[in-house]
């Protein structure tokens, strides 16, 4: 029993070290972008609208009304979550390509690929605080495995029983970034169960969590965060509620590779205060995936991934439950701020009484605009 745990831990450590070793070359451009050259381009083609200071040209001199999503390039909180590819998509193809204003022209025929990389590098210099984790490290969200990047998003995630009594559970998860490295999370589960042809619904155990990024490095493509959560016993014990307050600490390590392949680990414990009501347990999750995007990585993003999910009660003689879940996330809106994901979670060990479940979610990154804007 202890040996199984030890082996699993060693496997996670081994994977983590190999991924770090492999990533030494990550996110290196074929040619280092030249911000100085970018400044010249900016002064020629962008300054009339975006201003010398990156906040925007004097509104008396520009002819257009600024949209709500108008970028102030000095605002690190707004610019750092944007990956370079999102900016590049707009500069190459114009605002409407990502559902933004038509006032932002396209520069496809005026600037070369290298010149666009240079001007992006120059716009990055307007944010002078280097402590913010960069949006490139905001990997596609898996259905179960929690990632390390701090988010501004709402996720509606539902799991449906594949067999047995009809029932499903929906989580409404609100995540909000605070400061450079913090994030608050509130997760409200809602359970729907059909017994004797009548639907019943109940609230489950609510999670309140705080995530803190401990380390992030754009060059190596790595990010590491710790989260502490508390689950007051808001749910009914008859429907799987713990019946006692539970603490949930975990660590997340994500690694992005140059090929747009990535791996995410999450490892933690559920620690109920009253272990007579609910046992302590450990979990360790891995999500391995690849993001594919047409149009030189500027178009719609498809992210096939597979999650390996292990949980184990911390009681003598308990077995480790392993599940495997292939899934597909895709950006639904043009702006890529609304994404959907569908997967099937299948138990592979200790399968008695555990049936496959179909999962899906809708995710809305609300910092990028209203749900219905940008389609
Ligand atoms: C005619 C005015 C105009 C010019 C010239 C212009 N822009 Fe813009 N740009 C805009 C407007 C307006 C927006 C805001 C679009 C929105 O939010 O709907 C914008 C948005 C952007 C964005 C933000 C996209 C995002 O994800 O928030 C970037 C990056 C950008 N412009 C870069 C540039 C660069 C680089 C140049 C020069 C090569 C340039 N712009 C020239 C008007 C202009």
Does some domain include residue 149? Answer: yes
Checking if the pLDDT of 235 tops 80, the result is yes
pLDDT at 18: 52
Q: What is the CATH classification number for the domain harbouring 237? A: 2.40.160.40
Q: How far is the CA of 122 from the centre of ligand 1 (A)?
A: 14
Q: Are residues 6 and 150 in the same domain?
A: yes
User: Ligand 1: residues whose CB is within 6 Å?
Assistant: 45-46, 48-50, 64, 67, 69-71, 82, 86-87, 90-91, 95, 100-101, 103-105, 107, 119
Share the mean pLDDT of the chain: 91
Q: Are residues 102 and 40 in the same domain?
A: yes
Ligand 1, atom 32: closest residue by C-alpha: 91
Instruction: Please say which residue of 103, 124, 145 terminates a domain.
Output: 124
Specify the ligand 1 atom closest to the Cα of 78.
Answer: 27
* Dist CA 251 CA 224 (whole Å): 7
* Dist CA 267 CA 310 (whole Å): 10
Does some domain include residue 308? Answer: yes
Torsion angle, alpha carbons of 217, 218, 221, 227, to 10 = 50
Q: Are residues 172 and 296 in the same domain?
A: yes
197 Cβ contact partners less than 8 Å away, ≥ 6 residues apart? none
Instruction: Please say which residue of 100, 124, 148 terminates a domain.
Output: 124
* pLDDT bucket at 15, cuts 50 / 70 / 90: low
Ligand 1, atom 40: closest residue by C-alpha: 46
Ligand 1, atom 15: closest residue by C-alpha: 101
Q: Are residues 111 and 153 in the same domain?
A: no
Torsion sign (Cα): 220, 364, 324, 266: positive
Q: Are residues 107 and 138 in the same domain?
A: no
CB 154 within 8 A of CB 366: yes
Q: Are residues 99 and 156 in the same domain?
A: no
Torsion sign (Cα): 53, 58, 62, 65: positive
pLDDT at 26: 34
pTM: 0.89
Q: What is the CATH classification number for the domain harbouring 90? A: 1.10.760.10
Tokens of 232: 């007051």
Checking if the pLDDT of 27 tops 70, the result is no
E-strand ranges in 273-374 read 281-290, 302-313, 320-331, 338-347, 357-364
Checking if the pLDDT of 366 tops 90, the result is yes
State the average pLDDT over residues 122-140. Answer: 95
Instruction: Please say which residue of 102, 124, 146 terminates a domain.
Output: 124
Does some domain include residue 374? Answer: no
pLDDT at 238: 78
- What is the span of the domain harbouring residue 87? 35-124
What is the best residue among 104, 124, 337, 368 to mutate for testing ligand 1's pocket, by most ligand atoms within 8 Å of CB? 104
* Dist CA 219 CA 23 (whole Å): 9
Can you spell out the DSSP letters for 91-145? Answer: HHH-GGGGT--TTS---TTTS-HHHHHHHHHHHHTT---TTSPPGGG-PPPPSSS
Considering its fold, how many domains does the chain have in total?
Answer: 2
């Amino acid at each position: 029993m202890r040996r199984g745990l030890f082996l699993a831990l060693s496997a996670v450590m081994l994977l983590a070290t190999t991924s770090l070793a492999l990533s030494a070359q990550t996110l290196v451009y074929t040619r280092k972008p030249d911000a100085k050259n970018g400044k010249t381009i900016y002064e020629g083609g962008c300054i009339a609208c975006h201003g010398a200071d990156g906040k925007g040209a004097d509104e008396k001199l520009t002819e257009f009304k600024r949209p709500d999503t108008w970028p102030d390039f000095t605002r690190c909180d707004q610019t750092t979550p944007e990956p370079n590819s999102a900016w590049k998509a707009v500069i190459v193809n114009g605002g409407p390509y990502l559902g933004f204003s038509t006032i932002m022209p396209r520069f496809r025929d005026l600037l070369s690929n290298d010149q666009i990389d240079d001007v992006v590098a120059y716009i990055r210099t307007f944010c002078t605080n280097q402590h913010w984790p960069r949006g490139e490290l905001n990997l596609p969200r898996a259905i179960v495995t929690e990632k390390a990047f701090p988010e501004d998003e709402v996720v509606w995630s539902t799991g449906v029983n594949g067999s047995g009594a009809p029932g499903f559970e929906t989580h409404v998860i609100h995540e909000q970034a605070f400061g450079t490295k913090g994030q608050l999370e509130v997760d409200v589960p809602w359970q729907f169960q059909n017994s004797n042809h009548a639907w019943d619904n109940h609230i489950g155990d609510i999670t309140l969590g705080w995530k803190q990024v401990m380390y992030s490095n754009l060059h190596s493509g790595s990010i590491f965060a710790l989260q502490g959560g508390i689950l007051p016993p808001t749910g009914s014990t008859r429907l799987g509620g713990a019946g006692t307050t539970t603490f949930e600490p975990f660590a997340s390590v994500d690694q992005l590779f140059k090929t747009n392949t990535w791996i995410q680990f999450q490892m933690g414990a559920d620690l109920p205060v009253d272990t007579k009501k609910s046992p302590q347990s450990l979990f360790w999750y891995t999500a391995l995936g690849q993001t594919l995007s047409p149009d030189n990585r500027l178009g719609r993003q498809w992210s096939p991934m597979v999650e390996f999910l292990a949980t184990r009660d911390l009681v003598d003689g308990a077995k480790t439950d392993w599940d495997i879940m292939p899934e597909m996330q895709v950006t639904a809106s043009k702006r890529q701020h609304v994404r959907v994901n569908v997967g099937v979670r299948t138990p592979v060990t200790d399968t008695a009484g555990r049936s496959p479940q179909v999962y899906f979610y809708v995710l809305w990154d609300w910092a990028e605009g209203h749900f219905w804007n940008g389609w």
